[in-house]
Amino acid sequence: MPVETAVPAGYIRVFGKPKALSDVKYTYCPGCHHGIVTRLVAEAIDELGILERTVGIAPVGCAVFLDRFMNCDFVQAAHGRACAVATGIKRARPELVVFTYQGDGDLAAIGTAETIHAANRGENITVIFVNNGIYGMTGGEMAPTTLPGQRTTTTPWGRDPRLHGYPLKISEMLAQLDGPTYITRQAVFDYPHIVRARQAILKAFRNQLEGKGFSLVEILSTCPTNWRMSPQEAGRWVAEHVTKHYPLGDLKDVR
Amino acid sequence: MPKGIVIVEKERCKGCGLCIEACPFGVLGFSSDYNSSGYRVVHMEHPEKCTGCAVCGYVCPDVALEIYRREPVGGTV
Ligand SMILES: Cc1ncc(C[n+]2csc(CCOP(=O)(O)OP(=O)(O)O)c2C)c(N)n1
Ligand code: SF4
C-alpha cells in the first residue's frame, strides 16, 4: 500500500494496522465488533513483543479464519474444544504464549465443560470470549447467552426463559471458582470502552507471561447481521440493553 | 496544514460508517467511490478539521484507517 506517497513530510504515523495482523481482509460482516476484538488481540501481541512465540486457538464460528487474519501460529480446534487444545499446547510447551478466541456458541454452549475445567485447573492460558448473544456464523440461532425476549431464528417470538432458560453468565460462574486468576467483562461499542478492553486484554496476556494462571476477557460484542440492526443500532443495543444483563467490570482479579 | 490526516485503505473498508459517527469533529463521510467488493468507502469530507486523534481508527472494525499527526514544532502540538 503506497501510503507514504499520500502523506506530506512532517507527519508521523500514530495509528494503523498492528504487525500481528496480516494483509488478509477480515471475513467479518460490515460493522461487526469481532474486527475490533481481533485487532486488540494483535495490538497486545505487538506491545508485548511475543509474536514469534504466540499460538492462537481458533474457534468454530465467525472467527474460524483467525489463522489467516493474524501472523502468529494457530491451531483450529473442534467446536468448543479450544480451552482443551490450549491446555495441551501450554503444558507441552510452557515457553509459548497460548490464547483462545471463542464466540459464545463455542465457549458457552458446546464448549462449556472444557472452559469450566480449564478455568478450574487454573491453566496458565489467556481466553478471549466474544459474547454477541447469538450463533453468528450459522445464521442467528439462539445461544445460551441470548437475552430474554430477544428474537433469533430459533426463538422467533423472543427468548422465553421458562422455555429456553436464562442467559448463562459464564464470567460470574467462573469467578466463583478458586482456579482462575483474572475474569473481566468489557465492551467495544465506543472509544472509551475500547481503550479499557485493550488494557484488559493486555493484562490477560501479561498474567500468562508472569505465570499467574487462567485469565478470561469476556467482550460484549455485536452481530448486526443476525440481530437485524445497523452497526450503529447494534452498538447502542449493547450499551443500553446487553450491559444491563451482563454488567461490565472485573469479576475476579487475584494479584 | 491540518493537524491530522486519515488514510483510508479502500479495499479494507466495508462502509459500515462507525468511524463517521465516532469522529468528534465531523471529518469523515461517505465518498462516491466503491471498492472491488462493492462497499461504498469513507473519505475525509472536512480534512481541515482533523486533529489526528485516531478515534476513527480505534472504532474501525476492519482496520482500514491509518492516522498521521503533524509533528510538534517548537514544543507545541
Ligand atoms: C460439532 C459442531 N457442531 C455444530 C457446528 C455448527 N456451528 C458452526 S459455528 C456455530 C456457532 C458459532 O457461534 P458463536 O460461537 O457464538 O460464534 P459467532 O459465529 O457468533 O462468532 C455452530 C453451532 C459445528 N461446526 N461443529
Ligand atoms: S454473522 Fe454476526 S458475528 Fe459473524 S461476522 Fe457477521 S456480524 Fe459478525
Residues B32-72 have pLDDT tens digits of 999 999 999 999 999 999 999 999 999 999 999 999 999 88
Which runs of E-coded beta strand occur in A11-148?
11-15, 54-58, 73-76, 97-103, 126-131, 134-135, 141-142
Q: Is A109 helix (H, G, I), strand (E, B) or coil?
A: helix
With a threshold of 0.90, tell me whether the complex ipTM lies above it: yes
The whole-angstrom distance between A26's CA and the closest CA on chain B is 7
Residues A52-104 have pLDDT tens digits of 999 999 999 999 999 999 999 999 999 999 999 999 999 999 999 999 999 99
Task: Say which residue the cell 472509551 belongs to.
Answer: A192
A250 grid coordinates:
472485573
Q: Does the residue A108 lie in any domain? A: yes
A207 grid coordinates:
498474567
What is the span of the domain harbouring residue A243?
34-253
Q: Does the residue A25 lie in any domain? A: no
- Going edge to edge, which strands form the sheet with A182-187? A73-76, A54-58, A97-103, A126-131, A215-220, A182-187, A249-253
Distance A224 CA to ligand 1 centre (A): 17
Give the domain CATH number at A62.
3.40.50.970
Start-to-end CA distance of chain B, whole Å, equals 13
Q: Does the residue A157 lie in any domain? A: yes
Which residue in the set A14, A194, A235 is minimally distant from B69, CB to CB?
Answer: A14
Which residue in the set A8, A28, A31 is minimally distant from B18, CB to CB?
Answer: A31
Q: Does the residue A75 lie in any domain? A: yes
CB–CB contact A13 B68 (8 Å)? yes
What domains appear along chain B, each with residue ranges and CATH number?
Answer: 3-75 (3.30.70.20)
Q: How many domains does chain A have?
A: 1
